[in-house]
């Protein structure tokens, strides 16, 4: 029995005896070379109830080209009525190992002045990869989740996005993409999040089960694993490896602040150094009360507007709270909530703590 066959046999026995804890390899890493590829195409959607293109030269050109392909020539100078036609961009994702004849989902998006694609039919369209080759053919009836209605006075109501639709199984794969999965004497696991400790633990997990020097570290992201050349054995080998469980390393202490939405996410390892914090909010309100100056009867003069502005400044009571060594950020958030500060105030406090060097963690503002 070959080395890899023995390894596979031992893996199949051991994998059922491991207690379920931590994370599976397939949940934290992917196999190098096994990935999806993006496809894109340009086409026409027809059969729209007057919600298509209003006036576009490139849409007329595309429509004329399509008709010529069917042997129909448009007389020179003829103006086409294209309200039932809309130019669209088609995007799709070609999964790894997709075979000829299989079907994939596509997304269809209007790129002109079309108001809605509801009820439309996508004509046959080539979907190309980044290399310019055609990998799939798309065609079918659109399913549009959006809705739009417009009145004669110009008022309109739009629900969701009526200019984007989906076609389930709307494209047929015509060309396969060669995968490097079966090449070489090894496969490489790439971590979704780079971490030296996680990479070492992943390699140690494989080596402890299969044998020493089976897995070797490449860097903080990649772990190279020896694998059989025979493709059926390699598939079985990988199916066993990717279901092994191990304990990934805890990520670094981070605070993610979304300044647009006010969302703040705090990692569990964030700590505060001894510090005291005070924060007071100042509210400024400006009220305009315009008056009119009017001259007396029979007096010579003109009526003049007079601006009358009132400015009120309100300063809220500031409270100081102090934290000792090792206090986590949950205590800070709890104290801020008791004071009643808004998310924007908490962002300002976090930035000040980072500038003061009292925050043990990475502050990331997006």
* Structure confidence at residue 1 (pLDDT): 44
- DSSP string for residues in 2-51: -HHHHHHHHHHHHHTTS---SEEHHHHEEETT---EEEEEEEEEE--SS-
pLDDT digits (tens, 9 = 90+) for 257-312: 777 777 777 777 777 777 666 666 544 455 656 676 777 666 666 777 776 656 55
DSSP one-letter code for 143: B
Average pLDDT rounded to a whole number, residues 318-327: 57
Identify the band that residue 321 occupies on the pLDDT scale cut at 50, 70 and 90: low
Identify the band that residue 15 occupies on the pLDDT scale cut at 50, 70 and 90: very low
Higher pLDDT, 111 or 1: 111
* Structure confidence at residue 224 (pLDDT): 93
Residue 67 scores a pLDDT above 80:
no
- Exposed, middle or buried: residue 292 (CB in 10 Å: 0-12, 13-18, 19+)? exposed
Element (H, E) at 323: strand 319-323
* Structure confidence at residue 13 (pLDDT): 40
Residue 90 scores a pLDDT above 90:
yes
C-alpha 233/C-alpha 3 separation (Å) is: 12
* Structure confidence at residue 352 (pLDDT): 77
Identify the band that residue 354 occupies on the pLDDT scale cut at 50, 70 and 90: confident
Q: Residue 95's Cα: distance from chain center in Å?
A: 18
* Structure confidence at residue 256 (pLDDT): 81
Identify the band that residue 52 occupies on the pLDDT scale cut at 50, 70 and 90: confident
Each domain of the chain, given as residue ranges in start order, spans 3-34+187-246, 37-173, 254-365
Instruction: Kindly report the number of other CB atoms within 10 A of residue 42's CB atom.
Output: 15
Higher pLDDT, 122 or 323: 122
* Structure confidence at residue 211 (pLDDT): 86
What is the per-residue burial (b if ≥16 Cβ within 10 Å, else e) of 63-101? beebeeeeeeeeeeeeeeebbbbbbbebebebeeebeee
* Structure confidence at residue 217 (pLDDT): 92
Q: Among residues 239, 202, 240, which one has the least CA distance to residue 218?
A: 202
Higher pLDDT, 256 or 173: 173
Average pLDDT rounded to a whole number, residues 193-199: 89
């Amino acid at each position: 029995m070959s080395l890899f066959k023995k390894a596979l046999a031992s893996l199949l026995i051991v994998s059922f005896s491991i207690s379920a804890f931590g994370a599976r390899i397939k949940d934290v890493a992917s196999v190098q070379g096994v990935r999806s590829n993006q496809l894109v195409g340009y086409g026409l959607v027809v059969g729209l109830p007057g919600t298509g293109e209003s006036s576009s030269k490139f849409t007329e050109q595309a429509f004329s080209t399509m008709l010529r392909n069917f042997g129909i020539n448009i007389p020179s100078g003829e103006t086409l009525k294209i309200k039932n036609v809309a130019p669209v961009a088609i995007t799709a994702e070609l999964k790894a190992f997709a075979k000829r004849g299989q079907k994939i989902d596509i997304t269809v998006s209007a790129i002109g002045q079309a108001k809605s694609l509801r009820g439309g039919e996508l004509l046959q369209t080539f979907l190309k990869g980044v290399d310019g080759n055609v990998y799939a053919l798309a065609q079918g009836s659109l399913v549009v989740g959006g809705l739009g209605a417009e009145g004669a006075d110009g008022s309109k109501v739009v629900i969701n996005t009526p200019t984007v639709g989906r076609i389930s199984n709307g494209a047929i794969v015509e060309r396969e993409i060669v995968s490097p999965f079966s090449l070489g004497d090894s496969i490489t696991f790439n971590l979704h999040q780079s971490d030296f400790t996680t990479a070492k633990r992943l390699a140690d997990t494989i080596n402890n089960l299969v044998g020493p020097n089976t897995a070797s570290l490449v860097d903080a992201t990649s772990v190279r694993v020896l694998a059989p050349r025979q493709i059926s054995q390699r598939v079985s080998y990988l199916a066993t490896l990717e279901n092994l469980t191990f304990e990934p390393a805890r990520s670094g202490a981070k605070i993610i602040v979304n300044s647009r939405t006010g969302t703040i996410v705090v990692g569990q390892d964030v700590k505060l150094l001894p510090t005291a914090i005070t924060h007071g909010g100042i509210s400024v309100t400006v009220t305009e009360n315009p008056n009119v100056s009017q001259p007396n009867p029979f007096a010579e003069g003109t009526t003049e507007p007079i601006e009358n502005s009132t400015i009120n400044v309100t300063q809220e009571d500031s409270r100081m709270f102090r934290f000792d060594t090792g206090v986590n950020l949950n205590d800070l958030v709890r104290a801020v909530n008791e004071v009643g500060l808004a998310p924007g105030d908490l962002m300002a406090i976090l930035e000040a703590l980072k500038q003061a060097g009292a925050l043990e963690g990475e502050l990331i503002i997006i």
